């Protein structure tokens, strides 16, 4: 994986702006500590920082290729999982290769097929190609949206990058938020509306989108892929077999690496499946798989069962470790370290995020990186197979609005009165919810249940899943750790979009189809374990720690957050006994307090100005 950035301007020469580009490149340096490269022409600057995973000796970027018609230069962040097949197809078209890197394959695929190269790619990616003679920039992001790509567009230039901080390093980009940005932070956060970059003028290329930027037409973007409703003709047995094939094929493809590779292992269904398939593949080559788990100091003492978290992970992790015969690594995080990492998590995400859920992953990835450079993780299984409580509870499923965030009225109480009035008039949450349903692909004649399940999958794919993918990318790449997500294979997403709900809930179990498909890979107690979310600390000292953190920041009478947030509401949050459900089961009262502390730190760090 890598970091990419660039500036295209048709109204000014860029040769004299090297210092600006070096600063932008520095901001994404943690994504790629191994190599740095820069292409600078009159109207284009392409920047790259490389984390070497495939063919470390070659594959330097920006990479250039010329044929009879054009010279192409690419900067690319990602991994292609069908590199071998695509290279063979291009060789049959008489292309020749000088490296083993997937970058060269992608570059020559673009030369061969143009924009239609996207139809040939299986992987996670964000990339930009500059066509020197045509003076045209092509941008693209993978179908699911695993890899990020932000941009800022004005009348004079297009600036793009893997992370917001690189764009914000450009002197022409304002560090401002308007009512749109406030709405994102307060009513949607830590999620974001698809395509929104929170800062004024900042956007993100949406998942499954590409675009072209030229002097004549400016930036034109389009959707090249989305989940489409189709009739499902496979019976249950055939569906089980196809799911098993798709998932094992995806995992095996993502085990290719020229550097050390391991897997996350929580003891839950999803990571255990990935670790089991990976361990079998490693054993074929006489290798031992390294697996990694996280826990919190004293969680065994303070853990309490709940509807969302019926049991803790360690016993199940140990069972999988024994079952697989892997080399397992534990990371144990204590409360002070978790609180301290909240601001580092903002440094990584460039926005306030999922509080300790972000911070713990950042610390965890730092420990994993000491052993491996690549790790496989189980994100997105719940969104695709219907594992969350809001899929399975008919009352929650039927409720209007985003199921993980039914707290709009409560969130509004934190806004200063004049801002709350504007937010109330806009109705952003209602508008975005309706827009998501409107772009959901449906089949006529389906039952109301099946149509609602398609809507639920669209809601989760566009919103909740993107929040988790943001988190995984930023926290891992902050530590120069490449994390791959086999469940995010677009073939799995498209197939599961059309599988009937009764198949997915086979036997009355959450993700019953997945359990049936992979039952030969797991011991019984793991196979039928009830879903448990990403582990968080249960130590009551954490609430004390984050409260003190927010108190400390509010001692400043000019605390940046007070530009838009009501101090009295923050004090009520800290000192009252009220329960809070801010963002699903992952963010309750301690995490909400931490979120506001992160927000104040973020505004200070980037000198954010509120401009209504």
Residues with active-site annotation: 2
Q: Using CA atoms of 477, 483, 489, 493 in order, give the dihedral in degrees to the nearest 10.
A: -80
Task: Please state, in angstroms and rounded to a whole number, the distance separating the CA atoms of residues 29 and 535.
Answer: 30
Q: Per the structure block, which two tokens stand in for 352?
A: 């306030």
Q: Of 451, 431, 429, 430, whose CA–CA distance to 441 is shortest?
A: 451
Task: Please state, in angstroms and rounded to a whole number, the distance separating the CA atoms of residues 485 and 376.
Answer: 6
Residue with tokens 């009352």: 395
Three-state SS string across 99-123, please? CCCHHHHHHHHHHHHHHHHHHHCCE
Question: How many CB atoms are closer than 10 A to CB 607?
Answer: 10
Task: Please state, in angstroms and rounded to a whole number, the distance separating the CA atoms of residues 316 and 245.
Answer: 26
- Collapsing DSSP to helix, strand or coil, 378 comes out as coil
Q: Per the structure block, which two tokens stand in for 327?
A: 């080399």
Half-sphere exposure of 214 (CA within 13 A, CB side): 11
Instruction: Assess contact for 29 and 52: CB atoms under 8 A.
Output: no
Instruction: Assess contact for 129 and 73: CB atoms under 8 A.
Output: yes
Task: Please state, in angstroms and rounded to a whole number, the distance separating the CA atoms of residues 25 and 48.
Answer: 7
Instruction: Assess contact for 142 and 207: CB atoms under 8 A.
Output: yes
Task: Please state, in angstroms and rounded to a whole number, the distance separating the CA atoms of residues 500 and 351.
Answer: 37
Query: CB burial class (10 A; 0-12, 13-18, 19+) of residue 59?
Result: buried
Q: Cα separations (Å) of 599 from 91, 344, 478, 491, 570?
A: 51, 12, 19, 37, 12
Positive/negative CA dihedral, 447, 450, 456, 458: negative
3-state helix, strand, coil in the chain (%, to 5): 45, 20, 35
What is the DSSP-derived secondary structure letter of residue 64?
A: E
**Bridge-partner residues for 139, per DSSP?**
128, 211
Q: Cβ neighbours of residue 598 under 8 Å, at least 6 residues apart?
A: 342, 343, 345, 346, 352, 353, 355
Q: Per the structure block, which two tokens stand in for 374?
A: 């690549």
Q: Cβ neighbours of residue 458 under 8 Å, at least 6 residues apart?
A: 227, 436, 437, 439, 440, 441
């Amino acid at each position: 994986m890598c970091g990419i950035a660039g500036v295209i301007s048709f109204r000014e020469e860029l040769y004299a702006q090297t210092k600006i580009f070096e600063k932008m490149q520095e901001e994404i340096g943690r994504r790629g500590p191994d190599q740095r490269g820069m292409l600078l022409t009159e109207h284009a600057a392409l920047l790259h920082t490389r984390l070497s995973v495939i063919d470390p000796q070659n594959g330097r970027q920006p990479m250039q290729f010329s044929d009879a018609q054009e010279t192409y230069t690419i900067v690319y962040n990602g991994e292609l999982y069908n590199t071998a097949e695509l290279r063979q197809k291009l060789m049959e078209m008489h292309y020749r290769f000088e490296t083993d890197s997937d970058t060269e394959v992608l570059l020559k695929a673009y030369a061969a097929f143009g924009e239609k190269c996207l139809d040939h790619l299986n992987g996670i990616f964000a990339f930009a190609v500059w066509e020197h003679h045509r003076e045209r920039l092509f941008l693209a992001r993978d179908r699911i949206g695993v890899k990020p790509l932000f941009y800022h567009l004005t009348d004079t230039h297009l600036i793009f990058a893997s992370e917001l901080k690189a764009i914000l390093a450009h002197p022409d980009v304002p560090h401002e938020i308007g009512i749109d940005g406030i709405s994102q932070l307060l009513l949607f956060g830590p999620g974001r509306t698809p395509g929104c970059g929170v800062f004024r003028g900042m956007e993100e290329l949406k998942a499954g989108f590409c675009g072209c930027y030229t002097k004549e037409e400016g930036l034109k973007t389009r959707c090249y892929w989305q989940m489409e409703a189709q009739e499902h003709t496979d019976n249950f047995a055939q569906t089980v077999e196809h799911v098993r094939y798709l998932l094992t094929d995806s995992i095996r493809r993502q085990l290719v690496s020229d550097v050390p590779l391991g897997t996350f292992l929580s003891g839950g269904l999803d990571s255990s499946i990935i670790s089991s398939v990976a361990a079998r593949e490693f054993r074929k080559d006489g290798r031992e798989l390294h697996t990694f788990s996280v826990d919190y100091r004293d969680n065994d003492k303070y853990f309490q069962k709940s509807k969302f978290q019926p049991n803790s992970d360690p016993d199940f992790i140990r069972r999988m470790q024994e079952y697989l015969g892997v080399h397992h690594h534990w990371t144990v995080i204590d409360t002070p370290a978790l609180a301290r990492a909240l601001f580092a998590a903002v440094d990584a995400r460039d926005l306030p995020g999922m509080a300790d859920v972000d911070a713990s992953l950042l610390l965890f990835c730092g420990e994993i990186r000491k052993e491996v450079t690549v790790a496989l993780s189980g994100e997105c299984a719940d969104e695709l197979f219907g594992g969350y409580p809001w899929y399975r509870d008919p009352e929650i499923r039927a409720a209007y609005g985003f199921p993980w965030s039914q707290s709009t009225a409560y969130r509004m109480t934190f806004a200063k009165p004049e801002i709350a009035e504007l937010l109330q008039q806009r109705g952003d949450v209602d508008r975005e919810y309706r827009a998501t349903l409107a772009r959901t692909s449906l089949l006529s004649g389906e039952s109301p249940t099946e149509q609602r399940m398609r809507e639920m999958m669209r809601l989760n794919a566009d919103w909740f899943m993107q929040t988790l993918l943001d988190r995984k990318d930023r926290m891992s790449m902050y530590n120069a750790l490449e994390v791959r997500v086999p469940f995010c294979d677009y073939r799995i997403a498209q197939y599961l979009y059309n599988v009937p709900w009764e198949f997915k809930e086979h036997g009355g179990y959450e993700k019953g189809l997945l359990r049936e498909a992979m039952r030969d890979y797991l011991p019984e107690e793991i196979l039928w374990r009830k879903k448990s979310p990403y582990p968080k600390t249960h130590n009551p000292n954490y609430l004390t720690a984050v409260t003190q953190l927010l108190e400390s920041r509010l001692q400043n009478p000019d605390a940046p957050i007070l530009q838009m947030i009501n101090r009295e509401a923050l004090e009520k949050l800290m000192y009252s006994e009220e329960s809070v459900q801010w963002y699903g089961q992952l963010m309750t009262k301690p995490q909400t307090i931490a979120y506001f502390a992160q927000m104040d730190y973020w505004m200070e760090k980037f000198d954010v100005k509120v401009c209504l």
